[in-house]
Copies of this chain bind each other. A is one copy, B any other.
């Protein structure tokens, strides 16, 4: 058991990935049915790491783990699990274990777990909650999915705006039992519960007791409407370096607070979504999905791609005669299309990211379009010369070199334009540019690439 004493956290100093030996020890304890040892090993891990472990092992191992250790599971582990694994785990847990695990969590985490739960299990958990918390959770579930209302915790620390620092400190001491686990500000509210400012705890601790709270508030104060989209909330945290933000209802009344750790998790999810969507993976929930589930998730986008690939083939079919006479055209045509596809993807990715960070706006879109076109022309010119020479040397035909050079300039310019204009238009139409743009752009570059090259060839060479 040397590894347990040597590094209780079971993690490398440099890398936070779970150590292989630790995982092996846990797997061994599971396979040998040594529940006591398994418990000891797991107790040394952070709940987030236990959740990762449960996602990484196979179905059977996970079931055994739950059989030996399921009664010790705590709410934080459930909260950290990927949705698909979490559902499976929840199905396996006895009702009393489930409701006890959930009881420890803050309201925002309970909401997060409940929103994907089956109705019967949802009832079990809700019934186990104290009445006041149940009402709070049910209200939160009434807000739209992916809104600030779902992200926020209901536990807030407030003070009337006319208090001084000493009064606020005394109040916190008296109420110490009822304070949330994590809070960073005392929110000042007017008599109608509208937040008017906040004071950081550091400021509270370092300001003389007689100072009015109002004079200790932060300049950075801002509130978030309860129905605001979670991605906008995460953006605001990152843009304005916020730590926590009061959430208000339509009447500007305080209903909760969102803290930066939740905003960071949303930012991370949003990034994952953008990245996967750009690659045509719409809803990959986790590595622990089965092959069938994964196939179902990836097939639709491949089907769209097949349709567009056939469209490109129809363009080629228009020039079957030319290809039959000059087979070199068939050899060279994928190069033009491939270069266009790659240049288009470059522009597209930069544009999608710039839209997400709000760096690409109505104010600068035309300047950026102009720049992209120029970049496309410059790269087009460069690769036109290179590829013209390659074609000339390869097939010994100046005309063929000229045709591929021209087609390259046309396709790289069109690729650059499509790469920026398609996502901008998607955004205007209210469609996530990361989701739909890729197919459009590569369709454009394939069709234009084949058409320009084969069309020019038909005119010049035949």
Given A312-B338, A350-B284, does the pair A291, B371 have CB atoms closer than 8 Å?
Answer: yes
The answer to whether A306 has its CB under 8 Å from any CB of chain B is yes
Contact digits for A209-246, partner B, Cβ 8 Å, 1 yes 0 no: 00000000000101001001100100111111111000
A276 touches B205 (CB 8 A): no
Q: How far is the CA of A292 from the CA of B266 in the complex (A)?
A: 36
Contact digits for A3-30, partner B, Cβ 8 Å, 1 yes 0 no: 0000001000111111010010001000
Q: How far is the CA of A260 from the CA of B241 in the complex (A)?
A: 9
Given contacts A13-B225, A18-B363, A295-B378, 5 further A-B contacts (CB under 8 A): A20-B361, A284-B350, A298-B375, A302-B343, A306-B383
Chain B: minimal CB distance from A251 (Å): 14
A342 touches B301 (CB 8 A): yes
The answer to whether A261 has its CB under 8 Å from any CB of chain B is yes
Instruction: Tell me the count of chain A residues lying within 8 A, CB to CB, of chain B.
Output: 133
Residues of B within 8 A of A335 (CB): 306, 309-310, 312-313
Q: How far is the CA of A276 from the CA of B267 in the complex (A)?
A: 17
Residues of B within 8 A of A274 (CB): 275
A267 interface neighbour in B16, B48, B267, Cβ under 8 Å:
B267
Chain B: minimal CB distance from A169 (Å): 7
The answer to whether A379 has its CB under 8 Å from any CB of chain B is yes
Q: How far is the CA of A402 from the CA of B240 in the complex (A)?
A: 59
B367 touches A58 (CB 8 A): yes
**Chain A interface residues toward B at CB < 8 A:** 9, 13-18, 20, 23, 27, 46, 48-49, 52, 55-58, 169, 172-173, 175-176, 179-180, 182-184, 200-202, 204-207, 220, 222, 225, 228-229, 232, 235-243, 260-261, 263-265, 267-268, 271-272, 274-276, 278-281, 284, 286-287, 290-292, 294-295, 298-299, 301-303, 305-306, 309-310, 312-313, 316-317, 320, 323-324, 327-335, 337-339, 342-343, 345-346, 348-350, 353-354, 357-364, 367-368, 371, 374-375, 378-379, 382-383, 386-387, 390, 446, 450
Residues of B within 8 A of A46 (CB): 220, 239-240
A235 interface neighbour in B16, B241, B354, Cβ under 8 Å:
B16
| 8 cross-chain pairs, A with B, having the tightest CB-CB distances, nearest first | A176-B206, A279-B349, A201-B201, A330-B330, A291-B374, A271-B271, A56-B364, A309-B338
Given A200-B182, A232-B15, A378-B291, does the pair A281, B346 have CB atoms closer than 8 Å?
Answer: yes
Chain B: minimal CB distance from A137 (Å): 20
B201 touches A205 (CB 8 A): yes
Q: How far is the CA of A242 from the CA of B182 in the complex (A)?
A: 11
A334 touches B312 (CB 8 A): yes
**Chain B: CB-nearest residue to A46:** B240
B260 touches A264 (CB 8 A): yes
**Chain B: CB-nearest residue to A382:** B299
B280 touches A345 (CB 8 A): yes
Given A294-B375, A334-B316, does the pair A302, B56 have CB atoms closer than 8 Å?
Answer: no
Residues of B within 8 A of A303 (CB): 383
**Chain B: CB-nearest residue to A442:** B338
Q: How far is the CA of A113 from the CA of B334 in the complex (A)?
A: 46
Residues of B within 8 A of A220 (CB): 46
A349 interface neighbour in B201, B241, B276, B450, Cβ under 8 Å:
B276
